[in-house]
Amino acid sequence: MLNSLIKFAECCRAWDLRVSTIEVMDCAAQLNLVPIRGENDFKTVLRANFAKSRREQKKFDQVYHLYFHQRPIPLDHDREAVSGEIVKEGIEKLLEEFVNPENMTEAQHGFARMIQGEPAAFLDHVQRLQSAEEKRQKAIKSNLAQLSGKLSLMLAISQMTDRFIDQVKRTETDPALRRQLIDHLSDRAQHARSLISREPDYYTDMLVETGDTQSGQTDLATQPLSTMDPHLMDDMKEMIARLVRKLKDQMARRYAVKNRGSIDVKQTLRRSAKFQGVPIDIRYKAREKTRAKIVTLCDISGSVWTASKFMLHFLYSLQDCFSRVRSFVFVSDLVEITDLLETPQVSGALDRVMSNPGINTHARTDYGMAFQQFKHQALRELDKKTTVIILGDARSNYQNPQAGILSQIREKVRRMIWLNPEPQHTWYTGDSEIRQYRKHCHELCACSNLSQLEDFIRRLVL
C-alpha cells in the first residue's frame, strides 16, 4: 500500500498538485487509523491530504481515476479471458523488444512507461506542454507552438501504438491474449490522447458571475459604452466626478463611526481603573483601514478601449481608497502606464495613452502573449493583499489563450476579477476565450455601461 501511495503522490506532483513527503506520511498513517469500508472512504482520506482547495479537487479526481481505475491491466470475465499477470508479462516482453530510451524522445518514453502502468513521467510531460510559453515572433505571428507540440505528441503516440499492435498480431498465437494485449494498448493510447487534448479543468461553483441586469437608471448611465458618442464624453466625465465624490464620502463615513464594533478590553480596564470600575468607561477598537493593492490589465483594442478608459478614470480618481493602483494596457504586447496616470489630470493622461510608442493599435489582439509578459514583469510582486482586475472581451483571434497563467496569478492574489464589456449573450461566441478564463477568476462581471461599472467600483471600494 505504501509503495502505491508513493507512486500516486508522484503522479499528483506531475499533474501540478503540491504534495509534500509529510503529507504522504500523514495519509499513510490515517489510512491505518480510519476504518476503510469502501473506495469512497479511501478516496476521501487521500483527497483530504492531497487536494488543498476546492479548485484542486478536480485535478485530484482526474489523477485518482487515471491511477486507480485506468492504470491497472484490464481483466475480462469471459471463458476466454487470461489472467492479468499473463497480460502484464506480455506487455513487458513487448516493450523490452521495442523500447530503447536512447533512441526515444522523453514523451515517447513516458508513454511507454504509462503502458506499463507508471503514468507519472507522461503526466509531467503533458503538464509542461500545457504550461509552455510562446516565443515572441516579429514577423508572422501564429502563437500556436503549444498546439503544434500537442499534435506532434499525439502523432507519435499513434505511431508507437500501431507498431506495438502490429508486432502483437505477428508474434502472439494465443487469440485471447492477443485480443487483450491489443485492447490494452488501444485503451492506453486513447487515455493518453485524452490527457493531451483536454484543457485542465477546475470546479467553478465558487465563481461569482454577474451578467446583464436591469437598472433603475436611464439614459446616459445605461447607454452602452461601445456606442458612446464623442460629444457625450464631457457629460460622462461630470457624472463620474459626482460618483467619485459620493463614494469618497461614503468611504469616509465608514471609518468615522465611533463607539461601535469590538470592545478594546485593555483600554477599557485601563480607563476604568481610576473609577475602580464604577462606572466602566467602555472603549472600542479602532476600525482598521483595509486598503487593497489594485493591479489592472486593460484591453484597449477597438471598442473595448472606451470601457477601459472609464474604469481607469474611476480607479485613479479613487486611488486614495487603495494603497496602490498599478495599470497595464495591451493590444498584443503589454505596456505599463502607471507613471503616466499618477497625475492630478487623469482624464488628460488617459487621452495620451493611445499615443504611447509601445502600443501598436493595429496589431491583432493576443491575450495569451499579454498574460505571458505580465507573468515575467509583475507576477513576483503580487501578494494576498492584491486584487487583479482584467477588463476585456477575451477575444484572442483564435490564438493560444495561455489560461494556465491566470491559474498562477490566482494562487498569489486575494481576488481576481474579469470585467467583460460585451453583452452577456455574446460572451461564449466566436473567438472568445472567456470559457477558459472564467475557471480561474473569483468574479466575472458585465460592465457594458456606466451603471454596471459604478456597481462594480462600489463593491470594490466599500
3-state secondary structure of 94: helix
**Residue 231: band (very low, low, confident or very high) from pLDDT cuts 50, 70, 90:** low
Q: Residue 414: how many CA atoms within 13 Å on its side-chain side?
A: 12
**Residue 24: band (very low, low, confident or very high) from pLDDT cuts 50, 70, 90:** very high
Rounded to an integer, what distance in angstroms lies between the CA atom of residue 445 and that of residue 421? 9
**Burial group, residue 203, by CB count within 10 angstroms (0-12, 13-18, 19+):** middle
8 Å CB contact between 417 and 388? yes
Contacts 24+ apart (CB under 8 A), 353-357: 353/300, 353/309, 353/329, 354/300, 354/305
Q: What is the pTM of this model?
A: 0.75
**Residue 372: band (very low, low, confident or very high) from pLDDT cuts 50, 70, 90:** very high
**Burial group, residue 460, by CB count within 10 angstroms (0-12, 13-18, 19+):** buried
**Cell numbers describing residue 411:** 494562487
Q: Residue 166: how many CA atoms within 13 Å on its side-chain side?
A: 7
Over residues 354-362, the mean pLDDT reads 78
Q: Give tens-digit pLDDT for 263-281.
A: 888 888 888 887 777 778 8
Rounded to an integer, what distance in angstroms lies between the CA atom of residue 295 and that of residue 381? 10
Predicted confidence (pLDDT) at residue 217 exceeds the cutoff of 60: no
The CATH code of the domain at 208-231+291-461 is 3.40.50.410
pLDDT at 230: 64
Over residues 119-123, the mean pLDDT reads 87
Strand order in the sheet with 334-336: 208-210, 443-446, 415-420, 386-391, 293-299, 324-330, 334-336
**Burial group, residue 60, by CB count within 10 angstroms (0-12, 13-18, 19+):** buried
Range 444-456 burial, b when 16+ CB lie within 10 A, else e: bbbbbbbbbbbbb
Predicted confidence (pLDDT) at residue 65 exceeds the cutoff of 90: no
Sorted by where each begins, the domain ranges of the chain are 2-132+142-197, 208-231+291-461
Over residues 355-364, the mean pLDDT reads 80
**Residue 226: band (very low, low, confident or very high) from pLDDT cuts 50, 70, 90:** low
- Using a pLDDT cut of 90, give the percent of the chain over it: 20
**Residue 80: band (very low, low, confident or very high) from pLDDT cuts 50, 70, 90:** very low
